Structures are given as C-alpha cells and as structure tokens.
Amino acid sequence: MCRMDTHEQYLLNLARHRQIIRSRDLEVEGIPRVILTRLVRKGQLERVGRGLYTLPNVQVSEHTSLAQVTRKCPHGIVCLLSALRVHDLTTQSPHEVWLAISSKMRPPKLEYPPLRIVRFSGLALTEGIDEHEFDGVKVRVTNIPKTVADCFKYRNKVGLDVALEALQEAYRSRRMKIDELWDFAKMCRVTRVMRPYIESLTA
C-alpha cells in the first residue's frame, strides 16, 4: 500500500471515529491537504460546512450543527435557545446556533450553521456548564438552571414568553432545584425579575 493510500485510510478511520473532521485536523495528524480533496472527489467524504467534513450518508443526530460549531470553536458554550433545545425545554426551533464566547474572543467564521453570538464573562463562562456528546463530539452546554436564568437575563433577545415557558417546564418536570435556580439568578442579576414568577410556581 502506498503512502497516499495509507493517508486516505487513516483519514476515513478518523472521520468514522469523530463523525465530523476539520480541515486543520489534517495538519495535526500530518496528512497532506490533497488527501482530503481526493476523498471528496471520490465521494468518500462530504463537505458539510466551511472546513468541515463527514462521511456521506452518516447517521447524525438533530444536534449535528452543535457538533459542527464545537469543532470550529471548542471554547464556545451552547446557550439560550440552543441549550433549551438540548434540554427539551422549548417548542422553539432556532435556525441559528446560540453560542456564548468570552468577551475577548473573536467570533468564529462559519458558512454553516449560522451563529448567534452572546458574550459571557466571569463566572458565566465557568459555572453551570455541562458536557454532552453529539456525533462523537463533546459539546459544552449551559445546564438547566443556568439556561433558565440566562433566558431571563437575555429576555430582550429570546423573548419573555420563551423564558417563562422554560421556567415552567423545568419546574413541572422537576429537572432543577429552586435553590440552584436562585444561585444562577443572582449570578445573572435577575432575581427581581424572576421572583414573582418563581413565587407563583412555588406558592
């Protein structure tokens, strides 16, 4: 087997393992870019976004776009409407991926999927973050109480009705503790906004 064939097989195995690969992954693995071009021409790999490739007809989840974004921006945090979808706390189906990044970070440039960038700072970047795995990619997502509190903080962006729907569903399904919610409400400085809604739920 020639060296080029070895590179091709290695790259295909990498795609099977990771589900989604980035063109810059090739540099780390020491694989020439021409191998990627050759596999796309052969139909053995598909381009699914700028610098993003996967096996053709691969079985992917509804959260594939989150995996694609994480491949391009591993330090980003899936938040707000996209996090609500992960937690099944909304009837909304956002066409953008809502992504939180540091105020000092440059927004990633992607052709697909479209992004809605939110700037987090301080504890908001480190607290209340869980890891989920979608299509073989570890994706950072705000947990349920933090997501609910964030929705009230950014209610002008997502809508108060969305925040209320998330609060009611999370409480009804007993998937968060009120004490945890209060901690994140304090962090987001929305205790005064949320208090009457929480009190009406727990009365």
Cβ-contact 168, 151 below 8 angstroms: no
pLDDT at residue 182 tops 70: yes
Higher pLDDT, 194 or 52: 194
- What's the confidence (pLDDT) of residue 1? 38
pLDDT in tens, 74-92: 999 999 999 999 999 988 7
Cβ-contact 46, 53 below 8 angstroms: yes
DSSP 37-102: HHHHHHTSSEEEETTEEE-TT----TTHHHHHHHHH-TT-EE-HHHHHHHTT--S---SSEEEEEE
| Coil, helix or strand at residue 188 | coil
pLDDT in tens, 137-160: 899 999 999 999 999 999 999 999
Q: What is the mean pLDDT of the chain?
A: 88
Cβ-contact 36, 8 below 8 angstroms: no
Where exactly are the structural domains of the chain? 3-54, 64-202
pLDDT at residue 3 tops 60: no
Average pLDDT over residues 93-115: 86
Structure tokens that stand for 15 in this block: 């795609």
